Amino acid sequence: MIVLKTGRELKVMREACRISAEALKLAGSAVEPGVTTAELDKIAEKYILSQGATPNFKNYNGYPATACISINNEVIHGIPSKNRVIKSGDIVSIDLGAKFEGYHGDNAATFACGDVSPEAKRLMDTTRESLYEGIAAAVSGGRLGDIGAAVQQYVEKRGYSVVRQFVGHGIGTQLHEAPEVPNFGTHGRGVRLMPGMTLAIEPMVNMGDYDVKVMPDGWTVLTKDGSLSAHFEHTIVITPNGPQILTKP
């Protein structure tokens, strides 16, 4: 069931999303050679707790950390570790969220560590831009497929692929609510978009093929062909006057 949020609910949710966005910004700004993914995780967790919120990924279905931190050919759900040291040239995807007074925020971004290759930078830029293409398509009266079609067309036109096995989602009192929000689709198809819908739109874009595989840890998702992957995400609300991004620091 898709839940439309009231003005009161959105007020609380905006705060959850602000905290999420600030935590992501802080963790991302700490990406540099020699830093471990566990250190980035602690930075995010400390900030979220300082705001009277809780990390909504931690203990979610048994997940052990505040953030998912995925490097290079890791698509999503990389588990932070004190043994995972970030190197110059890596691209580092950080995905995290906060729960505040019963409501969730969720966001992600991919950060460059030092000087990355032109190919990696182009992948990151394309993924970020495809997120905004998807957001622009999230208009009241449109269809859910408009979002995925906008992302897919933008990405594929530039020679990349969008991951099929993992998608965006509704969000609110639950971290994952209806509807699922694929990053591929057909214009004019799917659920009607309405004011009050809150969605986490999150393109995951691979330099090579879209097939992925899950590592034995049960969490970390890799590109099957070993190609680089980037990930960007915002939580938005659909309004009568267009989509609004809630996860702004």
139's tokens: 């208009």
Domain total for the chain? Answer: 1
pLDDT, averaged across the chain: 98
Answer yes or no: is 117 within a domain: yes
In this predicted model, what pLDDT tens digit does every residue of 55-93 receive, in sequence order? 999 999 999 999 999 999 999 999 999 999 999 999 999
Answer yes or no: is 113 within a domain: yes
Answer yes or no: is 2 within a domain: no
Give me the mean pLDDT over the 100-122 stretch: 98
In whole angstroms, give the CA distance from residue 234 to residue 50: 22
**In sequence order, what are the beta bridge partners of 205?**
162, 230
In whole angstroms, give the CA distance from residue 182 to residue 187: 12
Q: What's 20's domain CATH number? A: 3.90.230.10
Q: Could you tell me the pLDDT band of residue 157, with boundaries at 50, 70 and 90?
A: very high
In this predicted model, what pLDDT tens digit does every residue of 217-236 receive, in sequence order? 999 999 999 999 999 999 99
Give me the mean pLDDT over the 169-180 stretch: 98
241's tokens: 């006057």
In this predicted model, what pLDDT tens digit does every residue of 120-146 receive, in sequence order? 999 999 999 999 999 999 999 999 999
Answer yes or no: is 139 within a domain: yes
75's tokens: 């698509």
**By residue range, what is the domain housing residue 166?**
7-245
Q: Residue 14: is its pLDDT beyond 90?
A: yes
In whole angstroms, give the CA distance from residue 16 to residue 23: 11
Answer yes or no: is 1 within a domain: no
Answer yes or no: is 31 within a domain: yes
Answer yes or no: is 237 within a domain: yes
Give me the mean pLDDT over the 106-123 stretch: 98
Q: Residue 249: is its pLDDT beyond 90?
A: no
